[in-house]
Amino acid sequence: MLIRSSALYVAAKLLPGGLGMLTIAVLTRLLPPESYGRYGVALVIMSFGISLGFEWLGLAYLRLAPAAGPGAAGTFDRLFLMLLAVAALIGGAVLATVPPADRAIVAAGLLLMVSYAWFEFRTRFHVAGLAPAAYFRMNLARAILVMLSAIVAAWSTHDPACTALATAAATLLAASKVQGDDTRGGGFDRALATAAIRFGLPLAASLMLNSAMGSLTRGLVGAFGGVEALGLFTAASVLVQNTLVVLSSGLSSAGFSLTVKALEAGNAEAARRQLGANFTLLLAILAPAALGMALTADDLAAVLVGPGFRATVATLTPWLAAAAFLTGLRSHYLDHAFHLGRRMRAQVGVTAVAAVVTLGLDALLIPRIGPVGAAIAVTAGAAVAAIHAAIAGRTAFAIPLPAGPVVRTALGCAVLAACVLSVPGSGAAALAGKIVGGVMGYSAAALALDIVGLRKVVAGRLRRGGIVAGGDT
C-alpha cells in the first residue's frame, strides 16, 4: 500500500513540478533577470507568509485528525478562516507602509500567499484521508492553470506583478473547481482547536524560522548583488523546488498518514515498521534524484532557463540539490519524531541552530561570492539541521535509522553516477541520454540490491501476468 499510494502522491507532485519547470523555462525568456527578481519578491512574500501563518494548521490536521474522527475538518476550516482574517489585517497594515513603487508586487505577493495557503490546506484533507487520486487531480489542475495564466500574463504585460496575480488567480480557481467535500464537515470543537493550537504554535515558530532563513538569504542576495542577482538565485531555487522539494513531499504523504493511523490505533510496533519503510522509500528515491540533478546541472540550465540565467543556475544547482536532499530527509522523516512524540518545542531548537549557521554564513559569504555563497550557506545549514534533528529527535520518538537501506542506496547511486558520466556532450540530447541512462542504471541496481523490496513487487506482477509460476520468486 505504501508504494502504490506514494506513487500517486509523487506523481501528483512531479507532474505539476514538470509543468512548473516548463513555466520557469518560458518565464525566464519572457522576463529579464531584474523583472524575474521582482517576481521572486512575490514568491518570498508567499513562502514566508504561508510558513508563518498557515502551514502549521495543515500539519496539525495530519497529526491530530485521525484520533479526532471525521468531524475534525469543520474545526480546522474555521481555524483557517480565523487565520485568514488576521492575515488580512496584517497585510493591510503592511501595504500602508510600502513605498508606492513596490506596492503592486507586495500586494501580488500577499494574494499569492492567501491563494497558495488555501490550496495547500485543502490538499491536507486528501493526504490525511489517504485519497491520492483526489490529491493528484487538485495538483494537476493547479499546475496547468498556473502555467497557462503565468505565461499569458508575462507575455502580454511583461510585468512581474501581473504575472504573480495571474498565478494567484489560477491557484484559487484550481482550489475552488476541484471539489473534495466528502472529506469535510463537522462543527467547531473547542477542545480540538485548543489541541491544534498547542501543537501548532511551536511548529509555526519552527516554520517561521525556516522561512526567515530563506527570505533573509534572498534578501541578502538582493542587497549585495541587486535585483538581477536575486532573479538568478530565485530561478535556481525554483528549479530545485519544482523537482526535489515536491518529490520529497509526495514521498512522505502516504507514509506519515499510515504511521499516525498505526500509532493512534495503539500499535507502536506497527508504527515503527511503517517508519522504517518510509525512510527506505524516501532515501531510495530522493538520493538518486538529487545526485542526478547535481550531475546534469549544466545541461538542465542550458535547456530550462534563459541565456542570461544559465551560467549562474548551473553553478548553484549542485549546492541547492544537496540542500534539498538534506532538507527533504529532515523535514519529511527526521522531524516526524517531534510530530509523533508531540515535542514540537524541540524542533524549534533544531531550526534555530540551523538559522544561526545559515544566516551567519550568508553574512560572511554573500558579500564575497554572491549567490554561490548563499547556496553554500543554505547547504551547510541543512546539513547541521539534519544531524541535529537525528540526535534531538531520539528524545521525542525513537524513529528507526536502518543502515542497510543507506548502504544499498549508496551503491545504487554509484551506478547512477557512472551511467550519467558515461554519456558525452551537452544540451537537450545529452540531457535526455543522461536521464535515461541514469534511470535505467539505478533501476537495475535497485532491483539487484532489492532496495525497497522491488523483487517481490516485480515477481508479484509477473505472477499476475502469468509469466512466472505461482511458486517462483
356-366 confidence digits (pLDDT tens) = 999 999 999 99
CA distance 242 to 252: 16
pLDDT of 208 > 50? The answer is yes
Phi-psi region of 35 (alpha: psi -120 to 50; beta: other; left: phi over 0): alpha
Please tell me the predicted confidence (pLDDT) of residue 60.
Answer: 86
Please tell me the predicted confidence (pLDDT) of residue 183.
Answer: 47
Please tell me the predicted confidence (pLDDT) of residue 465.
Answer: 56
Please tell me the predicted confidence (pLDDT) of residue 464.
Answer: 57
Q: C-alpha distances in angstroms, 175 versus 135, 138, 311, 390?
A: 11, 7, 37, 36
**With contact defined as beta carbons under 8 Å apart, do 364 and 321 qualify?**
no
**Secondary structure letter of residue 182 according to DSSP:** G
Q: What is the pLDDT of residues 336-386, one digit of tens each?
A: 999 888 888 888 999 999 999 999 999 999 999 999 999 999 999 999 999
DSSP-derived 3-state class of residue 422: coil
Of 121, 129, 126, 148, give the one whose Cα is nearest residue 137: 126
Q: What angle, 0 to 180 degrees and rounded to 10, lies between the N-to-C axes of helices 72-97 and 55-68? A: 170
Q: pLDDT band at residue 242, thresholds of 50, 70 and 90? A: low
Name the phi and psi angles at 188, rounded to 5.
-95, 120
Q: What is the pLDDT of residues 72-126, one digit of tens each?
A: 888 888 899 999 999 899 988 988 898 888 889 999 999 999 998 998 888 888 7
Side chain identity at 117, as an amino acid letter? A
Side chain identity at 36, as an amino acid letter? Y
Q: What is the pLDDT of residues 130-177, one digit of tens each?
A: 777 778 888 888 888 989 999 999 999 988 999 999 999 998 888 875
Please tell me the predicted confidence (pLDDT) of residue 384.
Answer: 96
Q: What ranges do the domains of the chain cover?
A: 2-401, 402-473
For the chain, the residue count is: 473
CA distance 417 to 295: 8
Q: pLDDT band at residue 471, thresholds of 50, 70 and 90? A: very low
Q: Which is more confident, 80 or 264?
A: 80
Q: pLDDT band at residue 212, thresholds of 50, 70 and 90? A: confident
**Average pLDDT of every residue of the chain:** 84
Q: What is the pLDDT of residues 36-70, one digit of tens each?
A: 888 888 887 887 788 777 888 888 888 887 777 76
Of 349, 330, 352, give the one whose Cα is nearest residue 209: 352
Of 76, 169, 201, give the one whose Cα is nearest residue 129: 76
Which helix (H) or strand (E) segment holds residue 88: the answer is helix 72-97
